[in-house]
A and B are shown apart, each in its own frame.
Chain A
Amino acid sequence: MLFNSVEFLLFFPLVTLGYFVLPGRYRWAWLLAASVVFYAFFRVVYLAILAATIVIDYAAGRLIEQAHGRRRKAYLVMSLVANIGVLAIFKYYNFLNDNISGLYSLLHLGAYPLPALKILLPIGLSFHTFQAMSYTIEVYRGHQPAERHFGLYALYVMFYPQLAAGPIERPQHLLPQLHAHHSFSYERLRSGLLLLAWGLFKKVVIADRVAVVVNQVYDHYPQYTGFPLLFATACFTLQVYCDFSGYSDIALGAAEVMGFRLMKNFDRPYFAQSLRELWQRWHISLSTWFRDYVYQPLGGNRQGSARHALNLLATFTLSGLWHGAAWNVVAWGALHGLLLIGGTWTRPLRQRLAGAAGLTRVPRLHAALNVACTLTLFGGALAVFRCATLAQAHHVLGHMFTGLGTQLSHPTQWLALASELGLPKAQLAIAALAVSVLFLAEWLQGGGALRLRLLNRPAWVRWPAYYALVLSILLGAYASADPDFFYFRF
């Protein structure tokens, strides 16, 4: 079920009401049943895969806790193999198969025997698999007791707000909340609903609108050079952020209404002054997952700069692979690893240059330049991410500046050029206005939690703001060809 659907409009109040009306001992069952229904809306057969991993990881958790020595490790490995195996079959099998088959024909080894599988990637597979793996790893590390209640463990994996696209929760954070009794609270209701509406605004007003330009240009990329490619990439930078952080906001808001506090997944990443900082603010639940379970075990930054660089590169390449089974996405991850290594190595030099240029005396300008550079690097790398293949990425990056001088020599033509990319001028104006509102809100957020500040204002300030938000969603929503959330495909 999509958050931006009619079904969810009925589902959410019904489930929330049922949750509070039911006695505490039945609530987990109610939420689990609701989560099953939520997931079944995508495709019922996916439930079987989820059920299998839930049973395996629940059993693994119990066995790890009871076992000692090498057996403990063996059970952990069993759980990891099962989870990665599911990912390997559903997400990476065809990718590997294609590449090995290509290698076969390149080396003239004859006919490749294994056929491609005709399977669809279950929605959110990478998210709930990683969440399940974090449970068994934490039990193995002794940070989390194994969950005895099978239903609550199933709910930990299937909790509907974060089932399809995260945040990837940790057992220490979510499981105690699933055990706890949550009373209805007016404050949580309005705070959660406000966050939910804000997420919806980001998704349906901004992300779905700019997606039209992105799809038009990237789906017909040989037609374009220069400005259209740059503009579509800028739009994609907005789309992917508004889409994914919008989803996270809706998830956090829906959970908050019922009394659950999910992990914060985005913290104004486009105000980050370096790529390192951006990754600490972007998809936080995944970044910290890779930090805790890949980067730190590899040695982190504790074993010299060469090893540190290697660890960064390996972690980001794996993160790229997590995002998609395609070489361009792996390259996108590796590119970020390289950019971070470059950023670490050139930091003293950049600081000296900034000092010599006098930028340290104007910290605001310095910060603004840092933000601009970070966004440019991040956006440029996103072009690789958005493309379907490495060849397309090569073409797009190679033609991004072709003819740009001529195209932009007449500023009056910019709008005309932009409006020929799928969105008429009026829609572009609405998108620009909505993006301005977004960045203004995020800038204000820098001075403290904007939502809490708004909630503490008098009613005559609060309610017009709520009305404006609701009306902007009702009147400003835009339909893209694909209403799904972008990160569902992972």
Chain B
Amino acid sequence: MAAAFLLTVRRLWRPLVLLLALVAPLEGYLHYRWRRMMHRPTQEYLDKLARPAPGQTRVLVAGDSHPNNAFTAGALPDSVANIAVGSDGLRDVELKLRALLARGVVPTCFLLEADDHVAAIAREAVNNESLVVLGVDAADYNRVYDRAISRLKHWTLRHAPLTDVRNRNVLFLALSEQLQQSLGTLHPPMLRPGAGQTWTGLPAADRARIVDNRRATMLGATYALSPLLRASWIRILALCRSRGIRVVGVRYPLTPEYLAAQAYYYDLRPMRALLLAHPPDTLLDYTHAFVRRPDYFEDADHLSPRGGAAFTPRLLTDLRGVLTKRPVRARP
């Protein structure tokens, strides 16, 4: 037996070393790119947010690309932290909030995205589960996502995130988009039309197609609330209330074309009902805020940097008004 083992080792060591020489630099490079490109929503980001002055962050903004695009980073005071990331679902938001609270970051105010799509059934499959898992407790993750990942897997994901195929796919997509952008061949049909280009600069036919695509992506073929996302919404409110955090629901600006398509195709009353049954402490509705300024958008439902620059001070002013109200008492 020992002889057979030795023979195997003698036969295999050279080709295996060669394989390692091929794979290790490749994986090292991918890991390096991952750290560079996907850094933001991971453990390090959450840690950094907590580290400098845990008491300083008073307002926390969370959600998907709508809040991510809506704020001009430089225009935000230090007391406001925007942790929104494109495609973050309500469960991702909940997990991030739990992770931050566990690290001692207890904001005074939590800006929770309350757009019609956030709890839609069509958004159930759209999330950053594989990214958020890196920065949160395994038990929280299993509870919120109804998964059963082991401590070992969680530890592995934290230290070698590319062992998760979903993370590899996200990285490869980002790398290929970066390559296409550098070659000047990337013209995606719906997002990021390009530097300086605005919604109103696109031909009408393109706008119509983009709106159709976006509303189907965000709200689905037929609109209904997802029980899972609805439950997450309720848990977020309860979590904030138990810590005395004021929840401000924010509905972000949309283009007139998108609003018209929403009104035409969908009955959005289920979201209204959710907001009535489980309301945030304050609701700020900006959906129609820029209907006369479509040039503030870069696509059907995302503000451009210019739009963000106009939106940020407006929201901050409204927020100041909200924050002067009587503080929310913790209700465990």
Binding site for B on A (CB under 8 A): 5-7, 20, 41, 43, 183-186, 189, 204, 208, 220, 222-223, 426, 459, 463, 466-467, 470-471, 474-475, 477-479, 481, 483
Contact = CB atoms under 8 A, between A and B. Distances in A.
Contacts of A478: 165, 169
A189 B8 contact: yes
B169 A479 contact: yes
A467 B22 contact: yes
A20 B150 CA distance: 28
Contact of A479 (B4, B26, B166, B220): B166
Given A7-B153, A459-B15, A474-B27, 17 more contacts: A6-B152, A6-B153, A6-B163, A183-B4, A184-B4, A186-B11, A463-B15, A466-B15, A467-B18, A467-B22, A470-B23, A471-B23, A474-B23, A474-B26, A478-B165, A479-B169, A483-B165
B214 interface: no
A183 B152 CA distance: 32
Contact of B4 (A41, A185, A208, A222): A185
Interface string B162-177: 0111101100100010
Given A6-B156, A470-B19, A186 B165 contact: no
A307 B168 CA distance: 55
A185 B8 CA distance: 8
Contacts of A471: 22-23
A467 B7 CA distance: 21
B167 to A, nearest CB: 8
Contact of B168 (A186, A467, A477): A477
Q: Summarize A's interface: helix, strand, loop or mixed.
A: helix
Contact of B165 (A20, A41, A183, A204): A204
Contacts of A208: 165
25 contacts: A5-B153, A6-B153, A7-B150, A7-B152, A183-B1, A184-B8, A185-B4, A186-B8, A186-B11, A208-B165, A220-B220, A222-B221, A223-B221, A426-B176, A459-B15, A466-B19, A467-B22, A470-B19, A474-B23, A474-B27, A475-B172, A477-B168, A478-B165, A479-B165, A479-B169
Contacts of A41: 150
Closest 10 CB pairs of A and B: A479-B166, A479-B165, A186-B8, A223-B221, A477-B165, A184-B4, A463-B15, A6-B156, A6-B163, A479-B169
B205 to A, nearest CB: 15
Contacts of B164: 479
A5 B130 CA distance: 14
A481 B125 CA distance: 8
Nearest to A20: B1
B218 to A, nearest CB: 14
A233 B19 CA distance: 38
A183 B172 CA distance: 42
Interface of B: 1, 4-5, 7-8, 11, 15, 18-19, 22-23, 26-27, 125, 130, 148, 150, 152-153, 156, 163-166, 168-169, 172, 176, 220-221
Contacts of B15: 459, 463, 466
Interface centre among A6, A220, A463 (most CB of B within 10 A): A6
B120 to A, nearest CB: 13
A189 B12 CA distance: 11
Contacts of B172: 475
A228 to B, nearest CB: 13
B221 A220 contact: yes
A478 B168 CA distance: 8
Contacts of A466: 15, 19
A184 B5 contact: yes
A133 to B, nearest CB: 30
B7 A186 contact: yes
Contacts of A463: 15, 18
Contacts of A475: 172
A187 to B, nearest CB: 10
Contact of A186 (B4, B166, B220): B4
Nearest to A4: B165
B68 to A, nearest CB: 22
Contacts of A185: 4
Contacts of A7: 150, 152-153
Contacts of A479: 130, 164-166, 168-169
A208 B169 CA distance: 12
Contacts of B4: 183-186
Nearest to A221: B221
B37 to A, nearest CB: 17
A463 B7 CA distance: 18
Nearest to A17: B5
A446 B115 CA distance: 57
A481 B124 CA distance: 11
Contacts of A184: 1, 4-5, 8
B19 A467 contact: yes
A222 B220 CA distance: 12
Contacts of A467: 18-19, 22
Nearest to B173: A424
A295 to B, nearest CB: 39
A459 B12 CA distance: 11
A370 to B, nearest CB: 38
A186 B15 CA distance: 14
Contacts of B220: 220
A17 B301 CA distance: 56
Nearest to A220: B221
A103 B261 CA distance: 43
A236 B220 CA distance: 23
A189 B5 CA distance: 11
A49 B7 CA distance: 43
Contacts of A43: 148
